[in-house]
């Protein structure tokens, strides 16, 4: 079973994503801040990370950079999600070497799940 790590500080969003991921046959692992997200990525070695950009204990860009430096997660694809309306956020996210997607909240859940499916199918 493929693993998807959701690093999202808004617990209701993380739980909703986990329910949808499980319904699609994936193992969903949740983390609610940057430090625990990095720890979970090292421990679980996920096949995909859904990563919020704004969260406690560091931002998604810092987490992505750290994951890219770790041998166990250096090639793990990342889908960024954010509520930020800051200019150039999309470009900055997609510039990350492992970025495969970017979704601005509120996002279309089916589009996000479709991106998850195509990313994990490509890696299996």
In the prediction, which pLDDT does 36 show? Answer: 96
Cis link prior to 47 (omega < 30° from 0)?
Answer: no
Asked if residue 93 has pLDDT above 90, the reply is yes
d(CA 31, CA 11): 9
CB 41 within 8 A of CB 76: yes
* Stretch 85-96: mean pLDDT: 92
Q: In Å, how far are 17, 19, 113, 123 from 23, measured between CA atoms?
A: 10, 6, 11, 20
pTM for the model stands at: 0.96
38-60 confidence digits (pLDDT tens): 999 999 999 999 999 999 888 99
In the prediction, which pLDDT does 56 show? Answer: 83
Indicate the CATH number of 3-123 among 3.30.1370.10, 3.40.50.2300, 3.40.50.980, 3.40.50.300. Answer: 3.40.50.2300
- Of the candidates 72, 111, 77, 108, the one whose C-alpha atom is nearest the C-alpha of residue 93 is 77
C-alpha dihedral (48, 75, 124, 89), degrees to nearest 10? 50
């Amino acid at each position: 079973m493929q693993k998807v790590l959701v690093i999202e500080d808004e617990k209701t969003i993380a739980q909703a994503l986990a329910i949808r991921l499980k319904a699609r046959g994936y193992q969903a692992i949740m983390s609610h801040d940057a430090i625990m997200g990095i720890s979970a990525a090292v421990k679980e070695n996920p096949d995909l990370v859904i990563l919020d950009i704004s969260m406690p204990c560091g931002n998604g860009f810092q987490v992505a950079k750290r994951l890219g430096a770790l041998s166990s997660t250096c090639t793990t694809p990342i889908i960024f999600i954010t509520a930020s309306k800051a200019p150039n956020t999309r470009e900055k996210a997609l510039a990350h070497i492992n970025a495969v997607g970017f979704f601005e909240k509120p996002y279309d859940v089916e589009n996000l799940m479709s991106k998850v499916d195509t990313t994990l199918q490509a890696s299996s």
